[in-house]
Amino acid sequence: MTKAPLACGFFALLAALQPVLAGEPATLLPPRSQDQTKPTEVNAGVRITSPSAGQKFAPGETLLINIQVDKSLNATDVVLGISGMEFTGTTRLDLETYQARVTIPDGFSGPSTISAVALDADGHELPGAPITISVAPTTSAGRVELAQRYYFLDPSVESQQLALTGTYADNIQRDVTSSDSGTVYSSSNPAVVRVAPDGLARIKSTGIAVVTASNGSSKDYAIFVVENAASPLPPQDLTRQFGIQQTANRLEKSNVYALRNVVITNSSRVPVPGPLYLVLTGLPSGVTLENMSGITRKVSPGSNFISLQLSGDGLKMGPGERNTLTLQFLNPNDAAISFSLLIVRSSTEP
């Protein structure tokens, strides 16, 4: 069942104002008494005949809306509610037909529901079945931006609504959250988060997922970390998502110190959420990493690790982003320095 979009008093006032807009005197309708029940059922005698449900339009276009009302309803006016746009009155063409022209705002995009409510002489509201049309720009957004990019959630949370804004030519901004606006969502881990075409992200389990929101060639990302604070996610080996390059040893201070530069590049297509750690395993006996952040307890216990400093907001490493650091080894015995590198994501130290 569909309820009328607004209270009767508002519709009655709009109905009374229609003659004024046409240059005729208006007679205010009597107020509805408190014991009268508002209609909630759709009236089959009130029908939107055009546009058709699902019809596509572009911002700036004019909607020609036609409404058919059965004579038996003795309607005196029809008022339209259009989501994302202003309520509007109609012009009566004959005993059964009403019409309205509405210009879609330049800044609007996405689904829009049109509701028609006929009014009889006693001010009763007679709502017809609504229809939903689709409004999409004719070009893709030059830039898109999510209202929120990070979600640190308890697994008890069921869903989160994403909100995506697109910036177009002439700096026009539109809500492009819905797939009706040409937006496509994908999740790096659907077992953790799945996103519906309307941008509703549903939480499926604990874990980490990166949601990509794409509109044309423009993209933005939302990172979801779903974990119980009392039982954090275990460390995750993400080494395969990175490219790692090392330079040769450089000796300083009479061969006691050895320096080695390491360049780490996110080679995946999506951001990698932090905290991130570089873990060195297999260091020879007697060789110490002087600038280590600590000793691992969970990942290859007893290994040296360094906390990676992330640029920007400090919460992620973006696609193609690089992190360069210098490893400083104390090597008093001049041993051959060899080791393996792991890149680990962990909510707590590894």
Compute the mean pLDDT over every residue in the chain, rounded to the nearest whole number. 86
Question: Model pTM?
Answer: 0.77
Digit-coded pLDDT (tens) for 309-347: 988 888 999 999 999 999 998 888 888 888 999 999 999
Does 308 map to a domain? yes
Q: Report how far residue 188's alpha carbon sits from residue 212's, in angstroms, rounded to the nearest whole number.
A: 8
2-6, 61-65, 259-263: range with lowest mean pLDDT: 2-6
Contacts of 175 (CB under 8 A, 6+ apart): 108, 109, 110, 163, 164, 165, 166, 181
Q: Report the pLDDT value the prediction gives residue 130, as an integer from 0 to 100.
A: 95
- Whether residues 311 and 292 share a domain: the answer is yes
pLDDT surpasses 70 at 142 = yes
Q: Report how far residue 4's alpha carbon sits from residue 206's, in angstroms, rounded to the nearest whole number.
A: 41
Place of tokens 């890149």: 343
Q: Report the pLDDT value the prediction gives residue 59, as an integer from 0 to 100.
A: 92
- Whether residues 199 and 129 share a domain: the answer is no
- Whether residues 19 and 129 share a domain: the answer is yes
- Whether residues 221 and 240 share a domain: the answer is no
- Whether residues 220 and 300 share a domain: the answer is no
* Among the listed residues 115, 99, 110, the one whose alpha carbon sits nearest the alpha carbon of residue 6: 115
Does 2 map to a domain? no
pLDDT surpasses 50 at 16 = no
66-77: average pLDDT: 94
pLDDT surpasses 80 at 138 = yes
Does 1 map to a domain? no
- Whether residues 207 and 294 share a domain: the answer is no
Q: H or E segment at 184? A: strand 183-187
CB atoms within 10 A of CB 183: 27
Does 309 map to a domain? yes
Q: Report the pLDDT value the prediction gives residue 311, as an integer from 0 to 100.
A: 83
Q: Report the pLDDT value the prediction gives residue 255, as an integer from 0 to 100.
A: 57
Digit-coded pLDDT (tens) for 112-133: 999 999 999 888 999 999 999 9
**Could you give the number of structural domains in the chain?**
3
- Whether residues 247 and 210 share a domain: the answer is no
- Whether residues 20 and 83 share a domain: the answer is yes
User: Could you say which of 226, 259, 291 is where a domain stops?
Assistant: 226
Q: Say which CATH number the domain at 171 has.
A: 2.60.40.1080
Q: Report how far residue 179's alpha carbon sits from residue 185's, in angstroms, rounded to the nearest whole number.
A: 8
Does 3 map to a domain? no
- Whether residues 242 and 315 share a domain: the answer is yes
pLDDT surpasses 60 at 224 = yes
* Among the listed residues 64, 33, 62, the one whose alpha carbon sits nearest the alpha carbon of residue 48: 64
Q: Report the pLDDT value the prediction gives residue 249, as an integer from 0 to 100.
A: 64
- Whether residues 41 and 65 share a domain: the answer is yes
pLDDT surpasses 70 at 17 = no
Q: Report the pLDDT value the prediction gives residue 258, as an integer from 0 to 100.
A: 81
Cβ proximity of 63 and 57 under 8 Å: yes
Burial class (CB in 10 A: 0-12, 13-18, 19+), 205: exposed
Cβ proximity of 177 and 156 under 8 Å: no
Q: What phi, psi does 159 have (nearest 5°)?
A: -160, 165
pLDDT surpasses 80 at 160 = yes
Contacts of 94 (CB under 8 A, 6+ apart): none
pLDDT surpasses 60 at 6 = no
Question: What is the pLDDT confidence band of residue 213, given thresholds at 50, 70 and 90?
Answer: very high
Q: Report the pLDDT value the prediction gives residue 252, as an integer from 0 to 100.
A: 57
Q: Report the pLDDT value the prediction gives residue 332, as an integer from 0 to 100.
A: 85
- Whether residues 173 and 241 share a domain: the answer is no
- For 57-110, the DSSP string reads E-TTPEEEEEEEE-GGG-EEEEEEEETTS--EE-EE-SSSEEEEEEEPPTT--E
Q: Whole domain around residue 280: which residue ranges?
A: 236-345
For residue 269, how many C-alpha atoms fall within 13 Å in the half-sphere facing its CB? 8
User: Could you say which of 135, 157, 175 is where a domain stops?
Assistant: 135
High-pLDDT (> 90) share of the chain, %? 69
Does 231 map to a domain? no
β-partners of residue 272 are: 317
Q: Report how far residue 277's alpha carbon sits from residue 306's, in angstroms, rounded to the nearest whole number.
A: 6
Q: What phi, psi does 13 have (nearest 5°)?
A: -65, -45
Report which of residues 211 and 254 the model is more confident about.
211
Q: Report the pLDDT value the prediction gives residue 254, as an integer from 0 to 100.
A: 54
User: Could you say which of 191, 226, 261 is where a domain stops?
Assistant: 226
Does 157 map to a domain? yes
**Amino acid at the residue 244:** I
Q: Look at residue 49 and give its three-state secondary structure.
A: strand
Q: Say which CATH number the domain at 307 has.
A: 2.60.40.290
Does 280 map to a domain? yes
pLDDT surpasses 90 at 78 = yes
139-148: average pLDDT: 93
Cβ proximity of 258 and 331 under 8 Å: yes
224-229: average pLDDT: 95
Contacts of 272 (CB under 8 A, 6+ apart): 238, 241, 242, 266, 316, 317, 345
77-86, 127-136, 274-283: range with lowest mean pLDDT: 77-86
Report which of residues 276 and 36 the model is more confident about.
276
- Whether residues 172 and 126 share a domain: the answer is no
